[in-house]
Structure 1
């Protein structure tokens, strides 16, 4: 009778013997297994991906070192995807026996990986389509488990020791080319060093990657910089997207990748120096961020992916805590929170990226502030969108203005509209201009109509309407495009007087900040803002201000305008140069314009802005009597035909 201890010893002995047998069998038949594996991969590439995979020579060197030569993967009827002349690697047998592939060492000599697109044919399409098809019908993904599995497999394929010589990554997008050639890459004793040559249609540079890399313990600290003088230019994007960008250096530090229960944590930081970006949709100038750093903590669970609020983003002297989340537990929910702790206002202004806030250069401020943003969007319940933006001020005051001197709104100034980068004729905003009209000399009907169409809560808000922002975001998300804005009269005034009409990120950000300063520092009264607005906005082709508009359309002064005329002027503000399309060939308002007028009148009735007495004469039709009439396409009556018809009548009755 064997004891428990004897049974354990016996079982262990049997396992060791079996394992030894397996290893021996593997050693004896390893080359045959290798050839069989290559044939299997080749068959899979042929059937599933319509591609040819071939290895000219493959053999084992010793127990676990594998030698391959002329390894090629080439899709049929497309360019070769990759080709490697010589590859030598060692494989961890223990990992292999449990189904994992973990590389020990790797040597590659002379090879390339390339992605090409010629016309509509891409040499990687078959592999993308296959990936999409395999996703169909899958159950809901566990994000933490999936990410950890992918990261582990990817890091297992990174060898502990590596020597690469002349390995190129090529990109050819219908002639837009970029080649990144790793002339030398060494990973020895966890120390990484590379020598890289980059060549595109527009520039050639030499880069270097250097630092610490420990794939088995999932840690790294690497730096990316330029060997030559000057900044590193980002290839391909300049030709493909007209996005020019460069930087002096990048550092990436991975401190921890760890799965704790159902959650995956990824901790580290990345930093960049002198990031420069140029794109016509961002700004008209180079945007420069001198120093930026992101201390991150990514959290992944079974039903969420997030950037934890303990993360810190820093650019220049500004620091804030972001929280970004994508959740799928019940509904698909997107969340964004930003918290800027109390900081000096001057530090914020001086930290604004060069080129992005040009109108703030030279501005000085005193006091402190802190800021919080809370945004949440439920894809299945879009109308429940959350948008909260709050700033707390502490003795905040602007002591010196930059290029945009908001104080000029309080006095006379010259206004020149900028349309398609062309300055229009100068308009004097002040009593020296005979067309300038004080607010109290503008028809009350026009004030009511314009406020109703453009900004009903103008006299109560502080530059922005949170509800309007929410509805704008909801509609833009639903339509998947920027189809609705949330512009107030304050925002239109700032845009017209101080900024341009260019649709860039820079202009919109400057507009938001300038409006906030204007409205929250009591620089200009609401009445003065509205008066300036009425006297500068475009109301037709080369028609600026209500003084010119009332005469251009009706040969009247602004105080003489009746309700119908005011309804008309308020409705054409969004597209004043297209006013002529409101009228038919008889010079009468078209049906759609009459319906718009009726709709606007009903809104004003409901809001108590109009009474029945105001509309007694509303049935009177609009008569364009000013020089605007020459823009209408009115049919002229055929006087010859009238005379002929008259003669026929006379002859018939012998008159």
Structure 2
């Protein structure tokens, strides 16, 4: 009877014998298998992708090597997608037998992959269609398992030793062209070295990628730099998306990819130096970030994907810990948390990216602060949105203002609206301007109407209304566009007095920070802010301030305005240049405008801002008597009818 040790030896010997049989069998029949494989791929390309797959010569090289020449994929009636003159590779036979393809070495000479779009026709559409293979619900949900499997397969296709010479990746998008040519790529003993030439319609550069790469152990540390002087400019994006971007260097480090039970951990860091971005939706100037680093820890489970809170983002001297998650266990939930540990206010200001906060340049501050943001959105229960923003400050004080001197609101200054980058006529905000109106000389009906429509809690909030932000976010997510803002009078004042009207990320971020400083440092009283607001906002074409507006529409002073006139002026603030569309061809308010007026009146009555006595004369129509009347399209009465009416009057008098 055999002992346990003898059984183990016998089992091992049996495995080796079987492996040897498989290897011998494979070696004997491998040419037939290779020919059959090429035919199968060719048939699949023809039937599934409407493309021709060609290989001039395919042969084995040694026991595990494979050599192919003149390989190409040509979609029907389209440009060649893929072509390589010479390809040599070796595979791990044992992994192949167990059903897993793993490349050992790879050599490619003279080839290209090109994506071509002519009009709406491309040479790659057929390869973008969705895989119809059914996937069970469990597989769909298990993000850790599926991601780890995908990463492993991808890295197994990266050889441990690689030589590429003259391999190009080309894009031709209706004449917008970009070519990235790997003139040389070497991966030997886990060391990566490349020489890359980039050519577009607008630039020509030479790049280099170098560093450490170990695909089998899932580790890498590589740098992306320019071989020539100057920054690396990203190709194609400028022509395709009007996005100009460049950087001095990028470093990508992957320290660990590990599946521990049901969780997948991916750890490492990314760093970029002197990132420059220019896009009209971001800012009117170049945005420059000198140094940025992201120490990341991604966690994936069966029903969640997240950036762990142990991750750290550094933007110059600003350092914070982000947490982001996508969860699908019960509902689809998006989460975001940001924590900025205690830091010096001046370090924060000096770390802001150049070009993104131009009004903060030159600003000085003392003190410290820390900040926390908590955001959560349940796709199935949108009204339960969580938005909690908290800033804790210690001795925070602005000692010197930058471009936007908020102190100017306390005295006389000249206001000039900026519309489409064109400065409008100057408006003096002060008593020397005959149209300037102090707050106590403005009809209380107008003050109450404007506060009701624009910012009911103006005198109690500190620049922002969290609930308004929440409702704005909910609606914007539901409509999948920016369809609602959450602008307070403080925000409108800052936007008008200090910022342009451009719709950019830069302008919105500056608005938020300036409002916070204005409201939380007691720079200007609420009454003064409201008075300036009434005297600078646009109330019609080339009409600025309530003094001009009351004359433009009603030939009155602001103190003489009736309730109906005040309701009208409050309602047109969002679109003052379109006021004429409120009226019909008889010069009377249209039905929708009358309904809006009634709605606003009812709100003010419910809030106790109006009494029944205030509305005694509300039935009187709005009569536009000032210069605004010339903007309204009145119906021209038929002259024949006028003559007939005149004769009828004469006959009546004859009687």
Name the TM tier (shorter chain): over 0.9
The alignment status of 1:491 with 2:491, answered yes or no, reads: yes
1:135, CA displacement in angstroms? 6.3
Residue 137 (structure 1) shift: 7.2
Cα distance 1:554–1:17, how it changes in 2: closer, same or farther (>3 A)? Answer: same
Shift of 1:638: 4.3
Cα distance in structure 2, aligned partners of 1:246 and 1:22: 53
Q: CA deviation at 1:9?
A: 3.5
* Structure 1 match to 2:350: 350
TM-superposed deviation, 1:639: 5.7
Residue 474 of structure 1 aligns to a residue whose secondary structure is: helix
1:41-56, aligned counterparts within 5 Å?
Answer: 41-56=41-56
Q: What is the CA-CA distance between 1:626 and the residue it aligns to?
A: 1.0
CA distance in structure 1 between the partners assigned to 2:436 and 2:651 by the alignment? 60
Which residue of structure 1 aligns with residue 514 of structure 2?
Answer: 514
Partner of 2:601: 601
Q: CA deviation at 1:627?
A: 1.2
1:9 and 1:317 map into 2 onto residues whose CA distance is 63
Instruction: Confirm or deny that 1:216 pairs with 2:204.
Output: no
Whether contact under 8 Å (1:49, 1:130) holds in the other structure is no
User: What is the distance in 1 between the residues matched to 2:520 and 2:423?
Assistant: 30
2:433 corresponds to: 433
Q: Which moved more, 1:158-167 or 1:19-28?
A: 19-28
Q: 1:599 to 1:42 in 2, by over 3 A?
A: same
Q: Which residue of 2 aligns with 1:36?
A: 36
Give deviations 1:314-363, integer Å, cap 9, x for gaps: 01100000001111111111111100000000000000000000000000
Whole-Å Cα distance in 2 between the matches of residues 60 and 295 of structure 1?
45
* Superposition map of 1:234-245 within 5 A: 234-245=234-245
**2: CA distance, partners of 1:105 / 1:58:** 17
Range with greater deviation from structure 2 (66-75 or 500-509): 66-75
In the alignment, what sits opposite 2:324?
A: 324
Residue 654 of structure 1 and its aligned partner are, at CA, apart by: 7.9
1:514 deviates by: 0.2
Partner deviation per Cα, 1:596-619 (whole Å, 9 max, x = no partner): 000000111111111101101111
* Alignment of 1:142 onto 2:150: no
**Tell me, what secondary structure is at the counterpart of 1:573?**
coil
Could you tell me how far apart the structure 2 residues matched to 1:558 and 1:192 are?
75
Which residue is 1:471 aligned to?
471
Q: Distance in 1 between matches of 2:645 and 2:340?
A: 82
Q: 3-state DSSP class of the match of 1:331?
A: coil
Q: TM-score, normalised by structure 1?
A: 0.98
Distance 1:18 1:365 in 2: 76
* Mapped partners of 2:571, 2:81: distance in 1: 59
> Secondary structure at 1:330's aligned position in 2?
coil
Change in 2 beyond 3 A, CA 1:627/1:27: same
Q: Per-residue deviation at 1:16?
A: 2.3
Structure 1 position 453, deviation (Å): 0.3
Deviation at 1:33, TM superposition (A): 1.0
Offset, 1:47 = 1.3
Aligned partners of 1:279, 1:460: CA distance in 2, in Å?
38
Task: String of CA shifts for 1:281-307, please: whole Å, max 9, x gaps.
Answer: 000000000000000001111111111
Give the stretch that moved more between structures: 85-94 or 27-36.
27-36
Cα separation, 2, equivalents of 1:396 and 1:105: 60
SS in 1 for 2:239: helix
3-state SS of paired residue (1:436): coil
CA change 1:11–1:241 in 2 (3 A) is: same
1:197-596 mapped onto 2 (5 Å cutoff): 197-596=197-596
Structure 1 residues 22 and 279: alpha-carbon distance in aligned structure 2, compared to 1, 3 A threshold: same
C-alpha separation between the residues in 2 aligned to 1:390 and 1:134?
Answer: 48
Question: Closer, same or farther in 2 for the Cα pair 1:125/1:392, shift >3 Å?
Answer: same
Unaligned runs of 5+ in 1: none
d(CA) in 2 for partners of 1:653, 1:231: 91
Check whether the contact 1:369–1:393 (CA below 8 A) recurs between aligned residues. yes
Match of 1:193 in 2: 193
Q: Using structure 2 for the length normalisation, give the TM-score.
A: 0.98
Within 5 Å, give how 1:129-168 maps onto structure 2. 129-131=129-131, 133-134=132-133, 140-168=140-168
Note the residue ranges of structure 2 that are not aligned, 5 or more in a row.
none
Distance in 1, matches of 2:360 and 2:91, equals 59
1:87-102 matches, within 5 Å, as: 87-102=87-102
Instruction: Report the secondary structure of 2:390's partner residue.
Output: strand
Q: Please give the secondary structure, in 2, of the residue aligned with 1:508.
A: helix
Contact 1:71 1:83 (C-alpha < 8 Å) held by counterparts = yes
Change (3 A) 1:539 1:648: closer
**1:476–1:484 contact (8 Å) kept in structure 2:** yes
CA–CA distance in structure 2, aligned partners of residues 433 and 136 of structure 1: 73
Q: Give the distance between the partners of 2:101 and 2:484, measured in 1 at CA.
A: 52
Alpha-carbon shift at residue 121 of structure 1 (Å): 1.2
Partners of 2:77 and 2:491 lie apart in 1 by 56
Q: Partners of 1:444 and 1:334 in 2: how far apart?
A: 45
Shift of residue 5 of structure 1? 4.2
* 8 Å CA contact retained: 1:117, 1:123: yes
The DSSP-based 3-state class of the residue aligned with 2:481 is coil
Q: Distance in 1 between matches of 2:560 and 2:443?
A: 7
1:62 corresponds to: 62
Question: 3-state DSSP class of the match of 2:129?
Answer: helix
Distance 1:498 1:222 in 2: 44
Shift of 1:7: 3.8
Residues in 1 aligned to 2:247 and 2:4: alpha-carbon distance in whole angstroms: 67
RMSD between aligned alpha carbons? 1.5
Aligned length: 654
Whole-angstrom distance in 2 between the partners of 1:50 and 1:477:
39
Measure the CA separation in 2 of the matches of 1:359 and 1:50.
57
Deviates more, 1:89-98 or 1:45-54: 45-54
Q: Deviations over 1:201-244 (max 9, x none)?
A: 10000000110111111111111000011000000100000000
Measured in 2, the distance between the counterparts of 1:400 and 1:326 equals 42
Q: Distance in 1 between matches of 2:371 and 2:635?
A: 60
Secondary structure, counterpart of 2:228 in structure 1: coil
**Distance of aligned partners of 1:33 and 1:639 in 2 relative to their CA distance in 1, 3 Å threshold:** closer
Residues 1:286 and 1:651: Cα distance change in structure 2 (over 3 Å): closer
Distance 1:654 1:130 in 2: 89
Return the offset for 1:648.
5.7
Q: Deviations along 1:125-180, whole A, 9 cap, x unmatched? A: 1111143x446876533111111111111111111111100000111111111100
The answer to whether the Cα contact below 8 Å between 1:359 and 1:403 also exists between their aligned partners in 2 is yes
